[in-house]
Amino acid sequence: MMTKQIIGNAGEYFIAYILSKEGFIVTVTLGRTIYYDLIVINPKNKTIKIQVKTTQHPNINEFVVSKKTENFIEDDLFYAFVRLKEINNLPDFWILPSKIVADIVKKTYENWLKTPAKNGGEHKETPLRTFCIKSKFLPSGWEETLKRYKSNLEILKEF
């Protein structure tokens, strides 16, 4: 059985592999830092921090993040969202700047709070948030924005 830790490690090592293959220098922090999983030096010799979120469900469109994601914005911080697939297929992945992730997480959560819960009542405040690939709560034009970041390493090369 795959634990959350093993699934998370798989995503981190996958992103480290992809970036290493493209000429980045990558260090996996192995849980030694609170806010990021990878420390990366891009081909321009700039340091980048990456927080990796992984799911093992190939049809899941949401990734769990914490409330701190809404306000933790740094120019050199990026999020990698990895959706694992069957062993013979490469995972889907998106790499986005922390500002975009924070905005989407905040908007999605605010809209979720405004909708009725399954029992018809109000949703309760929670420290968990979701980053959504697809959701009725996302702003118009989001799908086009997301396409730019899917499997695209240029954002990190140009940083």
Q: Sorting pLDDT into bands at 50, 70 and 90, what band is 23? A: very high
CATH class of 4-157: alpha beta
pLDDT at 43: 93
Residue 154 and residue 16: Cα distance in Å, rounded? 15
pLDDT digits (tens, 9 = 90+) for 72-112: 999 999 999 999 998 889 999 999 999 999 999 998 899 89
Q: The whole model's pTM is what?
A: 0.91
Mean pLDDT of the region 58-66:
89
pLDDT at 147: 86
Give me the residue spans of the domains in the chain: 4-157
Of the chain, the percentage scoring pLDDT greater than 90 comes to: 66
Among 72-86, 107-121, 144-158, which range has the highest average pLDDT? 72-86
> 4 vs 32, which has greater pLDDT?
4
pLDDT at 1: 66
Q: Sorting pLDDT into bands at 50, 70 and 90, what band is 123? A: very high
